[in-house]
Chain A
Amino acid sequence: DGGITQSPKYLFRKEGQNVTLSCEQNLNHDAMYWYRQDPGQGLRLIYYSQIVNDFQKGDIAEGYSVSREKKESFPLTVTSAQKNPTAFYLCASSRTGAGETQYFGPGTRLLVL
């Protein structure tokens, strides 16, 4: 373990509120990813970034936003536009691209109050 940290472990969101999930890595990896994990649906890609100051939408980007101002950090904001945010969110990184081994964080569980 170690290498990729996510915080908080649990996060509660009120209606209409934006919340930000933190993801930090000290592996010197260029690429970082955000996935959403729902039972029976596997992992779905929200956003990914292959280099600082650049990121691309994944399959389910609506209602989410990201930034990549530093190589080590890739925070995810769940906006009020995301109507079904309750899920387990996983951050991952890889040395360069997605074809390499991805290393995952411990996850953040987001719940709606």
Chain B
Amino acid sequence: AQRVTQPEKLLSVFKGAPVELKCNYSYSGSPELFWYVQYSRQRLQLLLRHISRESIKGFTADLNKGETSFHLKKPFAQEEDSAMYYCALYPRETSGSRLTFGEGTQLTVNP
């Protein structure tokens, strides 16, 4: 079975500093990976997915199959980036399957 691990429950950085939210996974096949974000008093929503290779709100994430990681990065954090971030994995080889979420990382960007 697949597993997603976000080793940091809490992460605090200062505005303008680089930020990296770690996501490690275990899955033997070819996964599809996502980052979802939940801002205060807002719904959980998709931030980005690796297959689209987009940069959303300045965030990027690269799938590293060798290290089985999908870390989320932003070069200059903003206060509005403060939120709960979840990494999620979808096992493409398994039909009718579902997303597996990590435990989440609460990011705080201090002024």
Contacts of B90 in A (CB 8 A): 98-99
In the complex, the number of residue pairs spanning A and B with C-beta atoms less than 8 Å apart equals 49
Contact present for A43 and B96 (CB under 8 Å): no
Contacts of A7 in B (CB 8 A): none
8 Å CB interface, B53-74 against A: none
Number of A residues whose C-beta is below 8 Å from B?
25
Number of B residues whose C-beta is below 8 Å from A?
21
Bound together, the chains give a CA A1 to CA B43 distance in angstroms of 8
Contacts of B97 in A (CB 8 A): 97-99
Contacts of A50 in B (CB 8 A): 96
A102 and B99 contact, Cβ closer than 8 Å, known pairs A1-B43, A40-B9, A90-B44: yes
Bound together, the chains give a CA A47 to CA B86 distance in angstroms of 19
Given contacts A40-B103, A104-B43, 15 further A-B contacts (CB under 8 A): A1-B43, A40-B104, A42-B86, A42-B104, A43-B44, A43-B86, A43-B101, A48-B98, A56-B96, A98-B90, A98-B99, A99-B32, A101-B46, A101-B49, A103-B45
Partner-B contacts on A (CB < 8 A) = 1, 33, 35, 40-45, 48, 50, 56, 58, 90, 92, 97-99, 101-107
